[in-house]
Structure 1
Amino acid sequence: MDNLTLNFFDFHVWANEQIFKRLKELPEDTYQQKVESVFPSISSVLSHVYLSDLGWIEVFYGESMNYALKLAEQQKEQTEQTEGKNLEEMRLMFHGLAERYKLFLDQEQNLNKSIVIENPTGGIMETNVRELLTHIVNHGTYHRGNITAMLRQMGYASVPTDYGLYLFLKTNNR
């Protein structure tokens, strides 16, 4: 896989892990605490990111967008599948999903794999895994920002998860 795409995906995994580490440092109820925000709790933000990432890997493996959306909706409706998980269970789910992505992305031909997506609201789009991977990472970054805002609203500091810091730490083997 090319260096930029690999770095960018690894950043996504690293940044998610930083959020989980920070949440483990806080009182246990912080994870599911109700808050007036875009999402009702941090657990719902992480559930949303997980389900979105899950849907995209299914699309990468050849499933339709409709299938991916239905899978996410089914798991969302069954809150014990995602939002009902405790922090460590959700962290392990993210870890397992990252492993699925890495297995897929370790095959060089998959990075440029063409994908035709029929989006129920946007029509048909022809793209490739590389372009969608950028979307996946940006989507995660956006929602980690939601989590940061929610933590501050609850009176806690968050943790830096920006790409520049990731590159600095990686370059300096930290």
Structure 2
Amino acid sequence: MDAKEHLLTLARYHQWATGHLFLHIQGIPDEDYKKDFGLFFKSIHGTLNHLLVAERLWYNRFAENFSPVVSLDSEVEPDRSRLKEVAIKESGKWETFIKSLKEIPDKLEYSTMRGFQANLPYVLTLAHVFNHGTHHRGQIIAAITAMGYSSPEIDLVYMLQAEERMNTT
């Protein structure tokens, strides 16, 4: 598998896992959904908002060659159902973007949040975007299981198994 195919798989997984997480947490009462559970961004809601902020930040860097200055803990979408809709839509942009690349650049040049210029390996930095989502989805899953709710099964292999079943039927 070449780098582009690998990134496309990670992009599909990113959207799939985001969608599955939102489906799984939809029944969690608002009190628990917004409870400060000691996560880096405090609550499930705060962490999901952070994921949306980061999603947009990195997409701008990759697709628009623009590095906006944002607050990583911003509440950009206070409405829970709207947050779900927007986050799933935004996570789905990556696959289209990666498919549009005629060739993958060696480096991504951007301005960091502190105003420094960065020149990082393109493939590894894009993989970071998806890894970042996995990291924070994992935090959310740890919080919901600690609160006594069941855990969604959103490992990459579950998506691959689902795709395999779809391709063999």
TM-score, structure 1 normalization: 0.80
Shift in Å, 1:15: 0.4
The structure where helix makes up a greater share of residues is: 1
Shift in Å, 1:22: 0.4
Q: Which one is further off, 90-99 or 46-55?
A: 90-99
**Residue from 90, 93, 101 that aligns with 1:108:** 101
TM-aligned CA distance change 1:110 to 1:13, over 3 Å: farther
Shift in Å, 1:125: 2.0
**2:149 matched to 1:156?**
yes
TM-score, structure 2 normalization: 0.83
1:173 partner SS:
helix
Given that residues 15 and 92 in structure 2 are in contact (C-alpha distance below 8 angstroms), is that contact kept between their aligned partners in structure 1? Answer: no
Post-superposition CA distance 1:9-30 (Å, at most 9, x none): 1001000111100011333443
Given that residues 104 and 110 in structure 1 are in contact (C-alpha distance below 8 angstroms), is that contact kept between their aligned partners in structure 2? Answer: no
Structure 2 stretches lacking a partner, 5+ long:
none
**Residue from 124, 127, 135 that aligns with 1:134:** 127
1:34 partner SS:
coil
Shift in Å, 1:173: 1.6
1:63 partner SS:
coil
The equivalent residue for 1:63 is 66
RMSD between superposed Cα atoms in Å: 2.5
Counting aligned pairs with the same residue, the percent is 20
1:150 partner SS:
helix
Equivalenced residue count is 163
Tell me the distance in 1 between the aligned counterparts of 2:107 and 2:117. Answer: 17
Shift in Å, 1:89: 0.6
